[in-house]
Amino acid sequence: MTGMPAPSADHDRRPPFDLVGIGIGASNLALAALADGVPGGLRTAFYEQRHQWGDDTTTPLTDGATRRVPFLADLVSPADPGSPWSFLRYLRARDRLFPFCVAGSFHIQRAEYHAYCRWVAGSLPGLHFGHQVDSVRWNPERALFEVDFTQLDADGEAAGLGRAHTRAVVVGTGAEPYVPEPLRPLADAPSVPVVHSADYLRHRDAVLAAGHVTVVGSGQSGAEAVLDLLRARPAGRGRLHWIGRTESFTSAEPARLGLEQLGPDHARYLHALPPEARDALAPHQRRLHHGIDPVTADAVHDELYRRALRDPGTDPQDDAGPDAVLVPGVRVRTAGRVATTRVELHLEHIRQGTRSRLTTDAVVLATGYRERPIGRVLAGLDPYLRRDAAERPRTDESFRLALDPSVTGAVYAYGGDTRTHGTGAPGPWLTAWRAATVLNAVTGREVYPLPRRTAFTTFGLAAPAPLVPGPGRPLTPLARN
């Protein structure tokens, strides 16, 4: 960036923004869509370093993969069913509303949902792709945040600098691919295809050409990669291992009462718990939505069964053994290269304690995602951040970071909401609710009325609001302090 001109003084003369969003994933895309409908208008800008909309965490790896939530849980409808940015409005704009009604599908394909999000991102004003936010600072003289960014050209090189002033900042940089420590050295090996599921489609040809492929990870992405490999590589054309740490390759089909734990009522309940109680609940909540879509799980089984019918050598009872092996309950201890073209995985069965080695020609890491740390982009605000006993930024119920009282502006961050609002908070069930919650806090008024109660389940012993308006008696507390 040597020789790059500094931001022009024109930025200081422009009216400040009411809200600047950093990152344009699904969360901030929903925020931008709902902000567009705030009565009286809001001055907003959203910056994303990529040059077009995309969200690797939900990219389908196979044709026909469906979302595990109904189409009504789109970017805006739970908060504003009449929004011009709803999925139904997208269908009408594409002249596909009637065919969709005839299809009678409550759960839409993920590829179609991606097309819907691209339509919103390509139509909304105030979205700036190819802009990388470099820093956020508090300017006490102007009582505004300064957001410095770099405009990137098509090759990702710096093409210009800019600065925005704003009263509020929302950090929604999303999640990044997670690679377990034993496999990190292999992920950078160009001679062996070791790819995260986020990059699977870009490297699919190389993976399909490998003689033996190992898929690590027992969730939805792992199942989709396995299904694609089974369909694209006929029996006898390549061998496959699918391993994962979970006890089984389980479909994610919680009962409706279980799904209430992914809703706003549970998020509010969990936020009010002590930090140690929230941490203890995290593993239980992950089981609610980290499994495999039942349609995908059944499709994998169907494909395996068909392979067994076509080729007796794929029958698990045959001496030659199946060309597709599925082993749950296994972790990768270490990994290393064999020559320059193969990888050796050292495996351990978690329950049995037994160990073995697996040599493979390619590895697909369906090992999930981790929230991007907000520390880099908010480093300039670090002296103002208030932290808990574990040195984690404190967040209120509206996703607002606790700042020193001298900072009169507000910063909202989604990165820590799995800890403060539950592991379901970043999921699609709460996308619109979370965006509406932030906008109500930013504007200081209820621009999007949110329901007082959303679940039949009562979380905690405090008397809940009635689920259906009308007369009723509150619960009597079982204990009083």
- State the pLDDT at residue 183: 86
At 284 the three-state DSSP class reads: helix
DSSP string, 190-243: TTS-EEEGGGTGGGHHHHHHSSEEEEE--SHHHHHHHHHHHHHS-TTS-EEEEE
SS3 call for 73: coil
What share of the chain has pLDDT > 70, as a percent? 81
Position of tokens 């044709």?
Answer: 63
Question: Are the C-beta atoms of 65 and 296 separated by less than 8 Å?
Answer: yes
Helices 110-123, 26-35: inter-axial angle, 10-degree rounding: 50
Residue whose tokens read 């600098």:
161
With cut-offs at 50, 70 and 90, classify the pLDDT of residue 361. Answer: very high
> CA-CA distance, 21 to 47, in Å (whole number)?
6
Segment holding 299, helix H or strand E? helix 294-310
pLDDT at 418 over 80: no
Contacts 24+ apart (CB under 8 A), 200-208: 200/61, 200/225, 200/228, 200/364, 201/59, 201/61, 204/228, 206/362, 207/362, 207/364, 208/232, 208/233, 208/238
Average pLDDT, the chain: 84
Residue bearing the bigger pLDDT, 409 or 373: 409
Q: Is the pLDDT of residue 469 over 60?
A: no
Q: Which amino acid is at 209?
A: A
Q: Which of the given ranges, 110-124, 181-195, 310-324, has the highest pLDDT on average?
A: 110-124
Q: What average pLDDT does this structure show over 22-35?
A: 94
Report the relative pairing of strands 131-139 and 355-360 from DSSP bridges: unpaired
DSSP string, 46-63: EEESSSS---GGG--SST
Query: Using one digit for the tens of pLDDT, what is the confidence trace for 275-316?
Result: 777 777 766 666 666 678 888 888 999 999 888 876 655 444
Could you tell me the two tokens for 235? 């029996």
Calculate ∠ Cα 114-99-221, nearest 5°. 30
pLDDT band, residue 5 (cuts 50/70/90): low
Question: Which SS3 state, helix, strand or coil, does residue 34 take?
Answer: helix
Here the tokens at position 356 are: 């073995």
CA–centroid distance for 371 within its chain = 8
Share of the chain above pLDDT 90, in %: 49
Lowest-pLDDT choice from 48-52, 320-324, 337-341, 429-433: 320-324
Question: Which amino acid, 468?
Answer: V
Average pLDDT over residues 203-207: 92
Most confident region among 161-170, 181-190, 471-480 by mean pLDDT: 161-170
Which position has the higher pLDDT, 265 or 86? Answer: 86
Could you read off the pLDDT of 114-164 as tens digits, one per residue?
A: 999 999 999 999 999 999 999 999 999 999 999 999 999 988 899 999 999
Indicate the DSSP class of residue 465.
P
Please give the structure tokens belonging to residue 34.
């709902």
Sequence-ordered list of residues with C-beta below 8 angstroms from that of 284, at least 6 positions apart, any chain: none
Query: End-to-end alpha-carbon separation of the chain, Å?
Result: 61
Task: Determine how β-strand 212-216 pairs with β-strand 362-365.
Answer: parallel
pLDDT tens for 218-275 read: 988 999 999 999 999 877 778 999 999 988 887 766 666 667 677 777 777 777 787 7
**Which residues make Cβ contacts (< 8 Å) with residue 273, sequence separation at least 6?**
281
The radius of gyration computed from the CA coordinates of the chain, to the nearest angstrom, equals 24
Note the pLDDT of residue 320: 46
Are 70 and 88 in contact by the 8 Å Cβ rule? The answer is: no
From residue 238, give the alpha-carbon distance in Å to each of 83, 108, 305, 400, 435.
Answer: 49, 32, 17, 51, 46
Q: How confident is the model at residue 11 (pLDDT cuts 50, 70, 90)?
A: low
**Of 40 and 321, more confident:** 40
